[in-house]
Amino acid sequence: MTPTNVTQARARRPARRSLISRDTLVALAFIAPAVVLVAVLMYYPMIRAFIESLYETSFLSQHPKFIGLQNYQDMLKDKAFWQIVRNSLTWTIGVVALQNLLGMGVAVLLNQDIPLRGLSRTLVLLPWVLPGIVGAILWKFMYDPQLGLINSLLLSAGLIRKSFPWLANPGTAMYAVVLAAVWKGYPFSAIIYLAALQVVDQEQLEAAEIDGANAWQRFRHVTIPSIAHIILLNLLLTTIFTFNYFDMVWVTTKGGPLNRTHIFPTAIFDIGFGQFRFGEAAAYGVVAVLLLAGLAFLYIRQLHPGRGTSQT
């Protein structure tokens, strides 16, 4: 074969395509910083927390002792752990349910043609934009038995005969903190639902009204189904936020009285930085992540009910 024929044969060969296209390399270059950031700030601390939970640490000992799963075994046998689980579920369910109900009610009201609607929408946001610690201090003063506004109003109305220690009583402490957290968080749900209500098909509402449906029936059978996916997504977000909420509980009660308001974030902080039992605190953190992942999985299954089921 002559050199000319060799050159022509090479020219007829299809060019070898690179394993990774240029566009793919550019896309990987753009997402690489975000991937590294997430890995450093999220996954690495989670792995380190699990490793830490396998050790026994003490304020007096400089060298942690490897004990395997002993921290988890001791934790499951501890009555205080199950109290924290009950408190966390009560806290999360109570705050999420009331916050979403109140947020939906406020959103429906703000979606109407009312006077000063723009100003009202702005004022609704104030509790949410207020720093968490500031809001917790505010409610702590409001619940104060001697100087608090709540006791003063109830005494003036004749509903109670003497000042009541709302945050110091084991029977009312959790409900008092839940109420404060609902006030702090309901604007988030209200804004989400207000945005969702504004995209509901008005023709369907008008058709239901022509058919004789009243306001509640239109809301139940037209509005709610139209924004059902937004409701589920907001429930997921508020569940995650509430389960990990630390400021309100710690500032108002520090988990007391008698551990009645101790939830996972406050318990982890108290065990780890208050008692310097970092291995046990890490074990609590791992269990908290698993519980939250389970709740998130249930919500995601509701958002995508057909996913994972067999198609016939």
Residue 287 lies in a domain: no
* 3-state DSSP assignment of residue 55: strand
Locate all alpha helices (DSSP H) within 39-145, ordered by sequence: 44-52, 70-77, 79-110, 117-124, 126-129, 132-142
* Per-residue model confidence (pLDDT) at position 62: 66
**Other CB atoms closer than 10 Å to residue 51's CB: what's the count?**
12
Residue 26 lies in a domain: no
244: tokens are 């990990």
Residue 52 lies in a domain: no
CA–centroid distance for 263 within its chain: 14
> CA angle, corner 38, sides to 299 and 52, nearest 5?
90
Residue 241 lies in a domain: yes
Cα–Cα distance measured from residue 227 to residue 231, given in angstroms and rounded to the nearest whole number: 6
pTM (2 decimals)? Answer: 0.82
Residue 140 lies in a domain: yes
* Per-residue model confidence (pLDDT) at position 253: 92
Cα–Cα distance measured from residue 222 to residue 205, given in angstroms and rounded to the nearest whole number: 7
Residue 274 lies in a domain: no
Structural domain that includes position 298 = 85-265+292-303
Phi, psi of 56 (to 5 degrees): -100, 125
Cα–Cα distance measured from residue 112 to residue 197, given in angstroms and rounded to the nearest whole number: 10
Residue 74 lies in a domain: no
Per-residue pLDDT of the chain (312 residues; tens, 9 = 90+): 555 554 554 545 554 455 678 888 888 888 888 888 888 888 888 888 889 888 888 776 667 888 889 989 999 999 999 999 999 999 999 999 999 999 999 999 988 887 877 788 888 888 888 888 999 999 999 999 888 899 999 999 888 888 899 999 999 999 999 999 999 999 999 999 999 998 888 888 888 888 888 888 888 888 999 999 899 889 988 998 999 989 999 999 999 888 899 999 999 999 988 888 888 999 999 999 998 888 888 877 777 665 544 443
Residue 228: give its domain's CATH number: 1.10.3720.10
* Per-residue model confidence (pLDDT) at position 138: 93
Cα–Cα distance measured from residue 8 to residue 3, given in angstroms and rounded to the nearest whole number: 9
The count of structural domains within the chain is 1
Residue 94 lies in a domain: yes
Return the beta strands (E) in the chain as ranges: 55-56, 65-66
* Per-residue model confidence (pLDDT) at position 274: 86
